Copies of this chain bind each other. A is one copy, B any other.
């Protein structure tokens, strides 16, 4: 397939490479051009503008930092929506708000284009290895059409319903991951203060009821208390926490733990941890306990 790919950050670079490896023709745009050019040696073409990346694409993938970036590229001045061929499909793979995803659906449909939302679970290493988990929402026909792309980038694709459903799952899922981080942070704080090595505690938990990647990965990270270099930056974690809180506000759902974790992230920002891994909110728990 002819694929336009916008956003060659730590996630997007790996994803684009895996598309190329699978035989697709990929044109990459990235604001900082050097990151797109680094993909040339793998066979990517480099676009000068987002519109360039879109103009001949059958499928256009966006993998950008936040709502503002996605909205700017798709709906902003010199926008993609006027360059993308009729009948093509935009695949929004970033973690964006339900509200923006709904508006993108309307805009693309009005332009005679298709839109599916397909955010992913997994960190940069999973993106590089083609091991992402992809959560796809939108018309079944379009999801099937994009299946070869998903298979190149991920180990599994979940089809969850219409467009905003996949965004809801992604937002609620990232929130669930933060409850794991906070749960580990507090239980490790308790264990450490009570004289038990968090690794000992973690071994028991993983060896019994908690044998899942999310506990193995974050457990090791938080037990070691090494939060740099980051897999996923704290400031982006705050962004996703805000998406959960904004959605909760919109649908009138009180989320006390999400609020508590919001304070952890804000405290982290105030303590200069914005570029550490988002698991560094555990540091705040440790410090409050005098560890």
> Which A residues form the contact surface with B (CB < 8 A)?
98, 121-122, 133, 135, 156, 158, 160-161, 164-165, 168-169, 171-173, 175-177, 179-180, 182-184, 186-187, 189-191, 193-196, 200-201, 203-205, 207-215, 242, 244, 247-249, 251-260, 262-264, 266-267, 269-272, 284-285, 288-290
Contacts and interface: CB of A to CB of B under 8 A. Distances in A.
A58 to B, nearest CB: 27
A290 B256 CA distance: 15
B176 A187 contact: yes
Nearest to A121: B208
A186 B63 CA distance: 27
Contact of A133 (B184, B209, B244): B209
A184 B290 CA distance: 24
Contacts of A209: 121, 133, 177, 212-214
- Copy number in this complex? 4
A204 B289 contact: no
B270 A290 contact: yes
Contact of A253 (B158, B165, B213, B270): B270
A195 B165 contact: yes
Contact of A213 (B161, B183, B211, B285): B211
A179 B180 CA distance: 8
Grouping DSSP codes into helix (H, G, I), strand (E, B) and loop, the A interface class, with mixed when no group exceeds half, is helix
22 contacts: A133-B209, A156-B208, A158-B204, A172-B191, A176-B205, A179-B186, A179-B187, A183-B257, A189-B254, A193-B252, A194-B247, A208-B213, A209-B212, A210-B213, A210-B214, A212-B215, A242-B249, A254-B288, A256-B263, A260-B260, A267-B289, A271-B290
Nearest to A266: B254
Nearest to A212: B212
Contacts of A264: 254
Contact of A251 (B194, B204, B244): B194
Interface centre among A156, A189, A191, A209 (most CB of B within 10 A): A209
A190 B259 contact: no
Given A164-B194, A194-B247, A263 B254 contact: yes
A98 B194 contact: yes
Interface centre among A121, A156, A204, A254 (most CB of B within 10 A): A254
Nearest to A286: B253
Given A161-B200, A253-B266, A256-B263, 14 more contacts: A121-B209, A133-B207, A168-B201, A173-B201, A173-B204, A179-B180, A182-B257, A189-B253, A193-B248, A209-B212, A254-B267, A256-B260, A267-B289, A271-B288
